[in-house]
Amino acid sequence: MKVSLWTDKKLIKGAEPVFLKGHKKTGILLFHGWSSSPQELNPDYVPSTAKYLNSLGYTVYIPLRIGQGTRAEDLDGLHWEDWVDDARKHFDLFLKEVDRVIVGGMSMGGQLALKISVERPVVGVIAMGTPVFMNMDPLFRVWAWLNRKNRKMMHKRYLPQDREIAMKKIHYIEYPAYQLYENAKASWEIRKILPEVKAPILVVHSANDNVVDPMSAKYLLKKVGSKDKQLFWVKNSYHSFTTDRNSGVASKVMGDFVNRISR
């Protein structure tokens, strides 16, 4: 498959899209998180979720989302609706390569997977670390609203115990301040459509999530319209658990889910 890029700018090394060909008719489309890159789901320093799922015979595609993988300033001007439209294009492109699609994603990538699942034919959904509520959510919402028109660049802050792992990720360490509002808006929009999510769903969330309130996982499981739904807690990992020590454990659970629903 000719992988689609949103830009002809020079990419950060390691931020390239991932396409791993498999022999099965079902493919897996994964979206990385906000300000991140495909490496989030295909790291080389812990067991890779993408490579594990591909080893089971599935074609795996992790596109580089619009505005990502170059420089943080390229996020300026982008909104939730732009990322949804971008996700639709990648789904339609991937469906030309496989007969059926399972869609998933990390963090905002999980929100995009949920959105796509109500608009496109999918076999199942994998929602990883997907935000409905942020840690200190009331404060976050106020801060996001106050910065909704602020385009000044802001730096991310990391807890000491998370900094080492976070610095291994290929991602932006700064962002336009108004992007906080776009993240909040994404969570609001996703809450509205959860009853419309009917496909089998696996919710995977870090029990120690330092960014997204773990209550989000329980809320998702309760509100989705799916009859086939499952929740798995990843222990001793931070928000992007696919880049942390227990990524292999989480990948195995995802593989079991994918094998079951794609029979």
Strand 26-31 and strand 153-155: pairing? unpaired
- Alpha-carbon gap, residue 254 to 193, rounded angstroms: 23
**Phi/psi of residue 105, nearest 5 degrees:** 180, 160
Please give the positions annotated as active site. Answer: 107, 209, 239
**Sole residue written with tokens 């492109």:** 93
Residues 221 and 72: their CA atoms lie apart, in Å, by 33
**Coil, helix or strand at residue 151:** coil
The span from the CA of 51 to the CA of 42, in Å, is: 7
Radius of gyration of the chain (CA): 17
Q: How far apart are CA 208 and CA 188, in angstroms?
A: 23
Q: Which residues make Cβ contacts (< 8 Å) with residue 55, sequence separation at least 6?
A: none
CA of 132: how far to CAs of 108, 127, 144, 167, 190, in Å? 10, 11, 14, 25, 8
H/E segment holding residue 109: helix 108-117
> Which residues, including other chains, have CB under 8 Å from residue 81's CB and lie 6 or more apart?
none
Phi, psi (degrees; rounded to nearest 5) at 23 = -100, -10
